[in-house]
Amino acid sequence: MDLVFFIKLLIYKYFFIFCNMLKQKIYRLVEKGSHGARYNMVFDYFIMALILLNLFAIIAESFSGLSAGFVRFLKLFEIVSVIVFTIEYLLRLYVSSLTHPANNKLNSALKFIFSGYGLIDLFAILPFYLPFIIKADLRILRVLRLARFVRIFKLTRYNKSINLILDVVREKRAELGITIFIAFLTIVVASVMMYYVEGDVQPDDFPNILASFWWAIATLTTVGYGDVVPITVAGKFISGIIAVLGIGLVALPTGMISAGFMERIKSDASNDEENKNNQDSHSVKCPHCGGEVDN
């Protein structure tokens, strides 16, 4: 009995070691980072290429008069893509204890599922499986097929520039929130004023305050479609003021993000220069040729 127990214990031990090694390899495969090897880079480029091909497939489906063979090819490509994305999602879920550490595996899995990238990965495959789970009419099916477009957001995981912009937006979220609140307040005030000024004169274009929101948004953003325009003197005066305010309000978030973007680039450049200087300070120079000498 002792020998059998010892063999079982040994088997469990090596199985546990094998599972940990497998999890580490999967982590290095699916999680982008400096820890990755060549196969990690191949996996990243394969997923990115598949995402872009899915985008082209969605665009191709919008054309009428496609041949039956090409339609079958697009359907087959959709199935293959969903299988690949599902495997990727399950692998990321398996290594969630490494990517989203918590006090237990269940909490790690939940942290991944409800994270930004986790939700994007889930919504990238969910439209394919939902019709098999619940009955849906043609309108819902069209919405679900349109929801496949969310796969393009999976590229944010692999694009450094997009991640840099998202980081800047997160850093400036307080300032951006204030600007957005002021813009929303301006839209509300302009809608109320325009309704009382133009409502009696143009009841079809300004039937209520909510309907006036469209005019206020188009004017504040200086788009000016011209489908709804004031005709009274007071309405034109208010419209001019809102248009002028819109120039500044629209430019503020852009300026904040641009400033934060430049600050981040300078900070990264300073960090790179500091790391380079630290590496140079630890190297030993040859007194004769000036080359580095191994310590």
pLDDT of 80 reads 93
Total-model pTM: 0.64
- For the cut 50, the answer to whether the pLDDT of residue 191 exceeds it is yes
Of 101-105, 111-115, 227-231, 279-283, which gets the smallest average pLDDT?
279-283
Residue 230: name the closest of 221, 241, 269 by CA: 241
Residue with tokens 């679900």: 144
Same domain assignment for residues 153 and 11? yes
Question: If residue 293 lies in a helix (H) or strand (E), which one and from where to where?
Answer: strand 292-293
Same domain assignment for residues 97 and 216? no
Question: What is the 8-class DSSP label of residue 62?
Answer: T
- Sorting pLDDT into bands at 50, 70 and 90, what band is 280? low
Q: Is 284 helix (H, G, I), strand (E, B) or coil?
A: strand
* pLDDT tens-digit map of 95-113: 888 888 888 888 999 999 9
Same domain assignment for residues 13 and 127? yes
The fraction of the chain above a pLDDT of 70, given in percent, is: 81
pLDDT of 139 reads 61
- Sorting pLDDT into bands at 50, 70 and 90, what band is 136? low
- Give the residue numbers spanning the domain of 59: 2-158
Q: Is residue 294 part of a domain?
A: no
Question: CA-to-CA distance for 268 and 260, rounded, in angstroms?
Answer: 12
- DSSP secondary structure string, 81-107? HHHHHHHHHHHHHHTHHHHS--SSHHH
> Average pLDDT over the chain, rounded to whole?
79
Task: Provide mean pLDDT across the span 109-120.
Answer: 89
How many H helices and E strands in the chain? 11, 2
CATH of the domain at 220: 1.10.287.70
Q: Is residue 289 part of a domain?
A: no
Report angle CA 222, 250, 236 to the nearest 5 degrees.
35
CATH of the domain at 60: 1.20.120.350
pLDDT of 295 reads 45
* pLDDT tens-digit map of 72-92: 998 999 999 999 999 999 999
Same domain assignment for residues 113 and 183? no
Number of domains in the chain: 2
Count of C-beta atoms within a 10 Å radius of residue 242: 23
Q: Is residue 37 part of a domain?
A: yes
Question: CA-to-CA distance for 273 and 256, rounded, in angstroms?
Answer: 26
Domain final position from 125, 158, 191: 158
pLDDT of 284 reads 46
Q: Is 21 helix (H, G, I), strand (E, B) or coil?
A: helix
Same domain assignment for residues 49 and 144? yes
